[in-house]
Amino acid sequence: MKKIGVFTSGGDSPGMNAAIRAVFKTCSHYGITSVGIQRGFNGMIEGDYIELNENNTEGIIRRGGTILKSARSEAFRTPEGREKAYQFLKQSGIEGLVAIGGDGTYRGVRVLREEFNIPAIGIPGTIDNDLYGTEYTLGYDTAVNTAVECMDRIMDTAESHDRMFFVEVMGRDAGFIALHAGMASGAGGILIPEDPDDWNELYAVLEKRGKAGVKEPFLVVVSEGEKEGNAFYLSEQIKTKYPNFDVKVSVLGHVQRGGAPSWFDRVLGGKMGVAAVEALRAGKTDLATGLKGEEIIFTPFEQAVKMHRIPDVETIRMSKILR
């Protein structure tokens, strides 16, 4: 294999740049040309390619986001769009792809493989940590650290005014960020979509506080995918029930996706980037890289997109003891 393309797709996550750099470094090590495809599948369709080199990858390991930029592509969903993408890949001499993103990214390169026989290896890039086949996805560690730092600051205010704060974190389909950030912050309540009893349990705790007239700082972490509702809705329920509680809401939002990646995400991006290039060199395809313990493993795309990773019940159980 003489030329490999790498791109990022879907939501950005800290560590993507570390993975891009690792693809370039590994390709250089093996005498392979590496090409960055800009703006995900949109750039693939439009032939928006740049050759990676020491200059444009220098220092990117420290940067959040993705230097190749990311975008969702409606055009790629059409046969005509994918045909254009293939023609540009062919003209550029790209013989294999490293796709950094989530399950939608994996589905896209699977279709390219089926229609045009282009080998591809995936790297899981999402702060939600919900991709099957890996214990950690790129960006998750940084996102949790960011959330914890924000919550620590919020609790300073909560303690100063004896307030209750509902803090909403990202996690549309999975509660990993809320669960672990809540545990690390000493939250009194953690609401995640995977735990159907969390709201009733929180209500029971607050009922005792309300009857006792307790007015102390209290933190409730809410995953944006919580089935009972978002942080604003839930806080209003509490205000209505207990008007003496001083309740505030903070939504952390996209601040969790930005910022310099943690050491863990930098190293993880590096290891996965090396593994992805070496897998392509070995003739492998349709596989997503993952981490199990200290070992890099591979999961077939078909399995990775069909399965959905959720927090384990034991961690949820322990989190309730610690609240």
Annotated catalytic residues are 128
Q: Identify the residue whose tokens are 């020491």.
A: 54
Q: What is the DSSP letter of 257?
A: G
- Residues 177, 147 contacting (CB under 8 angstroms): yes
- Residues 109, 97 contacting (CB under 8 angstroms): yes
Structure token pair of residue 85: 């993408």
- Residues 32, 3 contacting (CB under 8 angstroms): yes
Structure token pair of residue 7: 């791109």
Q: What is the DSSP letter of 10?
A: S
The total number of residues shown for the chain amounts to 323
- Residues 152, 165 contacting (CB under 8 angstroms): no
Q: In whole angstroms, what is the distance from residue 221 CA to residue 319 CA?
A: 12
Query: Within a 10 A sphere around the Cβ of 29, how many other Cβ atoms?
Result: 11
SS3 319: helix
Angle at 300 between CA 299 and CA 302, to 5 degrees: 130
Q: In whole angstroms, what is the distance from residue 191 CA to residue 150 CA?
A: 18
Alpha helices in 97-230 (DSSP H): 103-116, 140-161, 176-185, 198-212
